[in-house]
């Protein structure tokens, strides 16, 4: 049975994100592995440091896993670290870079294997977008190929601050059967091991189906 999956709308690791405490408990560990891949060109060290400050307050420690390039994603030793993890958190940044680095790599296979074996996987912003398939292209709202840990489903993070024009474009081109979840900042859309969904955090989650609001039960 897979572990919990948390798709976070951004503005992570701060007040309002109390769902992280529940995810730690579900993981049964005090160590969180953070992948700053999406922020590879925007001070990835700061991503790890921000996570470390937050989780220290929750009684846990953070270890950064330096998967920044395609070469890193092919590194067997980094893949082994992820395969043994109980809680993995993907940071935000560029979804296109994150996808190109992880796609069809040993690191990605290890992450999926850990999740399928019961590890908790959380992803914020770009990470939340990329774990789904299709992926919402933040440059204009079009749909493109995601990594597909959960599918068919698309996520719009930062939903409370997202461009209205881009959202309209996404909903217009989305197939009628494709659920699109808008997740506010400091908010998580969480899938249980049994496959049920719930929202948690400071904001709201809005699910659309055929361009109209739908419930969480529309999600795969």
User: What pTM, to 2 d.p., does this model score?
Assistant: 0.97
pLDDT, tens digit, for every residue of 62-74? 999 999 999 999 9
* CATH 3.40.50.880, applies to 5-218: yes
pLDDT, tens digit, for every residue of 119-164? 999 999 999 999 999 999 998 999 999 999 999 999 999 999 999 9
Q: Are 26 and 6 in contact (CB under 8 A)?
A: no
C-alpha to C-alpha distance for 112 and 26, rounded to whole angstroms:
17
Tell how many helices (H) and how many strands (E) occur in the chain: 8, 13
Name the residue ranges covered by the structural domains of the chain. Answer: 5-218
What is the three-class DSSP state of 153? strand
Nearest to residue 165, comparing CAs of 133, 142, 135?
142
Q: Which residue has the tokens 């699109």?
A: 180
% residues pLDDT > 90 (the chain): 99
């Amino acid at each position: 049975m897979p572990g919990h999956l948390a798709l976070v709308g951004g503005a992570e690791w701060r007040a309002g994100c109390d769902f992280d405490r529940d995810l730690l408990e579900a993981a049964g560990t005090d160590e969180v592995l953070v992948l700053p891949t999406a922020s590879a060109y925007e001070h990835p060290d700061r991503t790890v440091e921000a996570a470390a400050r937050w989780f220290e307050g929750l009684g846990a420690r953070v270890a950064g896993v330096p998967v920044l390039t395609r070469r890193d994603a092919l590194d067997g030793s980094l893949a082994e670290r992820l395969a043994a993890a109980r809680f993995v958190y993907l940071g935000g940044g560029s979804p296109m870079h994150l996808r190109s680095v992880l796609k069809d790599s040993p690191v990605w296979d290890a992450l999926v294997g850990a999740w399928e074996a019961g590890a908790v996987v959380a992803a914020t912003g770009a990470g939340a977008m990329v774990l789904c398939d299709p992926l919402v292209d933040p440059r204009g709202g079009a749909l493109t190929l995601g990594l597909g840990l959960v599918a068919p489903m698309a996520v719009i993070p930062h939903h409370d601050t997202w461009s209205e024009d881009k959202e309209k474009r996404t909903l217009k081109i989305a197939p009628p059967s494709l659920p699109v979840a808008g997740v506010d900042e400091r908010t998580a859309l969480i899938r249980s091991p049994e496959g049920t969904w719930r929202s948690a955090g400071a904001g709201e989650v809005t699910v659309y189906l055929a361009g109209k609001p739908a419930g969480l039960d529309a999600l795969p």
